[in-house]
Amino acid sequence: MSFKEIPLMKLSEGTVLFHPYVSKNSFKNVKKVLSGRWIGQGPLVDKFELKFKSMFAKNNYCLATGSGTDALHLSYILAGLKKGDEVIAPLFTCTATNIPFLYMGIKIKFADIDPDTMNISIQSVKKLISKKTKAIICMHYGGLPCDIDELQKLSNKYKIPLIEDAAHAIGATFKDQPIGNISDFTMFSFQAIKHITTADGGMLCIKNKNLMKKAKRIRWFGIDREKKQKATWENDIFEIGYKYQMTDLGASVGLEGLKDFKKVLQHRKDIFNIYLERLSRNKNIKCVHKDDGKRTHAAWLFTIISRKKDLIQKKLREKKIESNQVHFRNDKYSIFKNFVKGKKYPNMDYAENKYLAIPVHHKVSTQKAKYIADLINKIV
């Protein structure tokens, strides 16, 4: 069979690419929630929002959602985007970044990748931006922040919002500022295999306080939930809303994840740095990283680029180590075909069949990381 058809590895088979981190205390917390009044959205969601804000977004306001996709869709609505508008978005990202634009009838201009980071290319954005552009969306691939300085210059020049997809980047910083504390809108994901999980969930960090009230309404059908619970609701819905809220079940798991976050992040960084140290000297491999003194990596992924990617992946699998590509170029999906006819993305073309992510999570010991890195060096 084609190597691309190799199925996901079972946990019992070896070292998997991803593994959820769930604190032991989460089990008793979930049990407590299940025996109480608030299983859906309740006081623990509020508590989770406040704790997250204190750690990552002190200058902004935080809204917990049912998924990162929910948070992105809300950010696009709050940014004032509407049918017929034009945005610049990353070509290389989870489809969750761009699918909400299809809900909204928005035209997407895809930007090519930066070959060093696989983040959105600043040069590509500069070529695409015009008076028609209503927003710039960036995604911090693997946990390495984009060049926010350059993106904000363009945002300010054209007086349009910068929206960050930080699904990979909890704990990353740019110029000593946490990602989540900088731009108009920043989305985080708590999907199962992220640094912090709520089983599934998201967080939207919002700079404008006035938009927070609207965000809370449209998160819950367009209803002012606080007024409804106090019986001061006027029994009218004047804007379309969604069912995008987080549950107390999820928040109870997320709160424990926040307590353990520093430990989890440090371990991931230790694994990341072992790979970087041992693989960066290999002339057949390029490590996706950029140490320019401005940004710190959240170590969600460690990605290599190699012409011998298929061989590396095959040999690792033979040693019971899972590796794979994470996300695919969005222009190859039929749903986006109307936006890419005749377009060329040379940097993505080069990297497309050469990039590979290797395991970085709490189940990978430092000794195992050294073994994996040394094995790759033997393969190529």
Q: In terms of pTM, does the model score above 0.75?
A: yes
Count of structural domains, the chain: 2
Q: Which domain does 272 fall in, by range? A: 261-379
Check residue 198 and give its pLDDT.
96
CATH number at residue 152: 3.40.640.10
CB 298 within 8 A of CB 186: no
Q: How does pLDDT run across 97-109, given as a tens digit for each residue?
A: 999 999 999 999 9
Domain end, chosen from 217, 242, 259, is at 259
Which pLDDT band, with edges at 50, 70 and 90, does 2 fall under?
Answer: very low
* Euclidean distance between the first and the last CA atom of the chain, given in angstroms as a whole number: 23
Q: How does pLDDT run across 135-155, given as a tens digit for each residue?
A: 999 999 999 999 999 999 999
Give every CB contact of residue 359 below 8 A, 6+ residues apart in sequence.
15, 16, 17, 18, 271, 321, 322, 323, 372
Q: How does pLDDT run across 237-283, given as a tens digit for each residue?
A: 889 999 999 999 999 999 999 999 999 999 999 999 999 999 999 99
Q: How does pLDDT run across 173-194, given as a tens digit for each residue?
A: 999 999 999 999 999 999 999 9
Check residue 292 and give its pLDDT.
85
Within 10 angstroms of residue 281's Cβ, the number of other Cβ atoms is 9
108 and 215 in a common domain? yes
Three-state DSSP at 358 gives strand
Domain end, chosen from 219, 242, 259, is at 259
| Residue 43 maps to a domain | yes
302 and 234 in a common domain? no
